[in-house]
Structures are given as C-alpha cells and as structure tokens.
Amino acid sequence: MSAMHSSAVSYDSTAVRPGWDSLPAGVRDAVAARLSGGPLTSGPPAGGGFTRGFAGVVAGAAGTKFIKASNQEIISRSYRREALINPRLPAGIPVPRLDWSLELDGWVVLAFDAVPGARMPAQPWRREELDATLRAWDEVASALASPPQALLDVGLLTAEADAGAAFSAWRHEAAGSLRMKLPRWLPRDLVVPLAWLEDAWPAATAGTAVAHADLRQDNVVLDSAGQPWFCDWNWPCLAASWFDLATLLVTASGDGYDASALFAAQPSARDAAPEQLDALLAAISGYWLAASAESPVPSASPMLRQHQRWSGETALRWLARRRGWRLP
C-alpha cells in the first residue's frame, strides 16, 4: 500500500444539521405517534452527509428508527424520490429499509429501520472493512444487474441522461469555455487527453443494471457485527454493473490501496475493459474538480468543497497511474 497523497475530510462530521428538538412540534408529535405516542429520545444528529436536513436515530416505546426530515425543496424532493425507490429495491440486500414516510406542514419525513451499532468505515480504510464492503457491494450489484420490474417502473434515467451535462468539464476546459482551477501538479497538455477520455464515458458505462450513482465511503455504514449496509438511494440510474465501483474505490485509491487491482477482482467488473474505467474516471474527476470551485461554499456543509477537491484530485491521480502519465 502506497502513502496517502492528500487529505480527505472526516466524513462523520461534514454536515451542519438541526437537532431533534429544533424540529417543529407538529413533526415531532407525528413521529412520536408512530413510535409510541409517548416521549422520544434522540441523540446528536448524524454528522455525515452534505445537506441541512435532519438525520438521526430516534427511539420510542414502539421501536427505534433512523429519521430523515426536511422542509427544503431540493432535499425534500430527494427524500420523496428515496421513499419511492427504497421499497422497490430487491429483497435481501443490505440496505436499511424504509418503514414509513409522511408529509406535514411542508416537511417530508422518512423513517428507516435503524442499523444496530451503526458507524462509518474507518478513515483511512481498514483493509478488512474495505474487503467486507466490496464483498457486500458485489451482492448488491449482482441483485441489481437484473432489477425487479417494480424498480424499473419508477422511471430511472440512464447514467448519460442523468449526468451528461455535469460530466463534461474536461471538454469545456479544452474548448476554453470553462476555466477550472486545475491542480498545480497537472500538466496542461493533459487536458486534451482527458477531454478525449471523458467524451467516451456515456458509451463506456452504458448498461441496464441499476446503479446507486452516489456510492461513496460515507454512504456505507457498518453494523455492530461489521456487516456493511448501503444508504441514501435517492437518485439511482441505469448503467453498467461496475459503475459504482469507481466512485467507491476513489477513497481507497486515496488511502494508498491499489484501486485498479481491487476493481479488477470484483465479479461485477469482469467485463469492464481498461478504457471503460478510464473514461469514467476522467468524467468524475472533471466533475468533482469543477464543482469544487463553485461559490459560495454551502453553509449546510462547509466541508463540501474540500470533499469535492480531494475526490477530483484522487480520481485524477488514479487515472494518471493507469495511463502511465507522470505527475509530480
């Protein structure tokens, strides 16, 4: 394992969220009615994520749930989508299941089965936790390779239709229509090869499997037995079965692991040619680097731009190693 080359954010403390007691009394009463009708207890809100929605464990006499709640339209829209998607995911895969949802006075509330002893994987990745996550994800990818019709019926976009505009930063940079804040160590003559690779990403990643489309280390939680669970199914899309491995392994690459070897060892990636992975790495590196330069920094997550910058640089360095590009 090589040395880490950058500094990721602490993914358990990226969000600025409201506490349970700050939610409207009507929302808290509605949750209480579902969980017992009596007093509830809640610890600190979850520190992970990049939104201002409430997220945390709430316990009552009738059980313990992981509650999400928001009255902000963008977040609420994603919660409604998650409430539609989650119950349609294949049975038996390690995904916290939605128990119920409600809307009240402009608030959208989701209640998931709480993962016992839930914690994020360690940073940097511990090899045993990374291996367990990859094994568990392969089960999910296998189940989603032929998704249930009920899931397809919600109207999933292809990866190209979902991310096409966002995954075009290198081409805009090469054309002079975007001035990205490039890493100082990136030779400018690599922008055109990156644009060429990025141009191939839609064809490279096309497929009929369902992809999570936002699989990162902070969307994985481990239960008290070390079993990984995969969260936040807000915007899945249709793509190749290996699509999510690339985004998941970016953090492993940044932590010094041989991400290419790990990728190649996964059954879901058995049919992925090297050029296909390279095309996706070019697309996501450009997306993250361009996003990291946007203003202002969201108050809901002061660490978002740092996360995006680190992710973009890490994906780019992984790609450079694969292409044999010499970087400082």
Instruction: Reduce the DSSP state of residue 209 to 3 states and report it.
Output: strand
From CA 244, how far away is CA 137, in angstroms rounded?
9
CA neighbours within 13 Å on the CB side: how many for 182? 15
Which token pair is 260? 């290419």
User: 317 with 257: CB under 8 angstroms?
Assistant: no
pLDDT under 70: residue ranges of the chain = 1-7
Quote the pLDDT of residue 282: 98
Q: Are 219 and 328 in contact (CB under 8 A)?
A: no
Look at residue 210 in the predicted model and tell me its pLDDT. Answer: 98
Tell me what pLDDT residue 58 has.
Answer: 96
Query: Which pLDDT value is given to residue 5?
Result: 46
d(CA 218, CA 205): 23
Q: Please name the residue ranges forming H helices in the chain.
A: 25-35, 73-85, 127-145, 149-152, 159-163, 169-175, 191-199, 201-205, 243-254, 259-264, 274-292, 304-323
Token pair 């990291």 is found at 292
pLDDT tens per residue across span 148-203: 999 999 999 999 999 999 999 999 999 999 888 899 999 999 999 999 999 999 99
pLDDT of residue 230: 98
CA nearest neighbour of 109 among 26, 165, 174, 169? 26
Query: Where do the domains of the chain lie, and which CATH numbers do they carry?
Result: 20-113 (3.30.200.20), 127-323 (3.90.1200.10)
Q: What is the pLDDT of residues 238-256, one digit of tens each?
A: 999 999 999 999 999 999 9
DSSP 8-state symbol, 158: B
